[in-house]
Amino acid sequence: MQTWSIGSTTVTRIEEQIGPNDMPAGGFLPKLDRARFEVHYPWMVPTHYDPANDKLITSNHSWLIRTGTHTILLDTCAGNHKERPWLPRFHQLDVPFLSRLREAGAAPEDIDIVLCTHLHADHVGWNTQLVDGRWVPTFPNARYLFSRIENDAWNPEIDDRRRQNPGRAGVYDDSVLPVIEAGQVQLLDGTHAIDDRLLVEPSPGHTPGHVVLKLQDGGERALFCGDTLHHPIQVYEPDWSTRFCDDQAQSAVTRRKVLEHCAEHRALLFPTHFAAPHVAAIEEQGGQFRPRFVGCRCG
C-alpha cells in the first residue's frame, strides 16, 4: 500500500488498474511532436510509455485522504459491472477495488466525503455499486461533492443530450443520478472550503466544471489535479492537451496554472493517472517545468 504524508494528513493510493492506453500516443495527445516526445524515452520507457506499441502507460486510481477530521475519497475510477463498450479499458470490470480500500484501513462506511473532480466515466464509477439489480451509493455515509457547472454540463435531461450521447447518459444514470436521488450530493458553486486544510477550486478546460483540490497542512502542500494532467509528459509539454479535453486551449492554460502553483508553493502534485511512482514535485526554470517523482512510505 502506497501512502504519502502532507503534514499530519495521509494520502493513500487505491489502485483500480494500470496499463497501456487503448489508443496510440499521438491519438491521445493530438499535438504530440515526435521529435520532442522521443527525447524523453530514457525516463518514460518502460514505466510510462511502451514504444513497441506506441502506447502511453497510465494508471486509474483514487486518493484516500485522511486528515483526522475527514476521510475523503477523491475520484472513484471506472467501477465494476459498468456498461462502457466505447471504452474497452473500463467496460464490465470486475476488480477488487473495495478490498484494496479496506486493506488501506477504510471501509465504504468510513468515507464521509467523495469528491469527483469531474464526471467522466473513469472518475465516477465507484460512486455506485450494483445491488439486487439496482445501482446504489457505494459510500452510504458520504457527501458526494462535484461542481454545479459539471452536473449541468452532463445531465442528460437537459436539451437533447440523451439522444445525442446515449453512452454519456448511461454514465450519468448509473454513477451520478443514484447518489443525487439518495440525497447525498452537494453541488459546489465556485471555490469551496471543506475545512481549514482543504480547498476545492474550479479548473475548467478538460471539462466545463472540472475542479482541483488543494491541501495545506503543517507548512506542507499538495494539489490533487484530476485530469488537468493525464501523463507526466504534459509537465514538460503543458500545451499538449488530450483528445478528451472539452476545451483544449483552456485546458492548457489551466494546466500551466496548476504547474506554476505547485512550483511556487512546493506543493506535491497528486494526479489520477500517472504511472509509478505516481506523485511528483514540480520544478520550474525559465518558464519550463519538470517533474521530480516522490516516492511513498509503503506498508
Q: What integer is the mean pLDDT of 264-292?
A: 96
Q: 96-125 pLDDT, tens per residue?
A: 999 999 999 999 999 999 999 999 999 999
Bridge partners (DSSP) of residue 48 are: none
pLDDT class of 299 with cuts at 50, 70, 90: very low
Give the residue carrying C-alpha cell 474550479: 202
Task: Count other C-beta atoms under 10 Å from residue 148's C-beta.
Answer: 13
* Contact assessment for residue 238 and residue 252, using Cβ atoms and an 8 Å cutoff: yes
Q: 224-238 pLDDT, tens per residue?
A: 999 999 999 999 999
Q: Which three cell numbers stand for residue 86?
A: 466505447
Q: Which three cell numbers stand for residue 200?
A: 476545492
pLDDT class of 298 with cuts at 50, 70, 90: low
Which tops the pLDDT comparison, 165 or 135? 135
CA torsion through residues 150, 155, 160, 161, sign: positive
CATH of domain 2-213: 3.60.15.10
Q: What integer is the mean pLDDT of 193-216?
A: 97
Q: 138-168 pLDDT, tens per residue?
A: 999 999 999 999 999 999 888 778 888 888 8
pLDDT class of 280 with cuts at 50, 70, 90: very high
Task: Count other C-beta atoms under 10 Å from residue 287's C-beta.
Answer: 7
High-pLDDT (> 70) share of the chain, %: 99
Q: What integer is the mean pLDDT of 5-34?
A: 96
Q: Is the pLDDT of residue 243 over 50?
A: yes
Distance of CA 37 to the CA centre of its chain: 23
All residues at 6 or more sequence positions from 192 whose CB lies less than 8 Å from its CB, including other chains: 145, 199, 200
pTM score over 0.85? yes
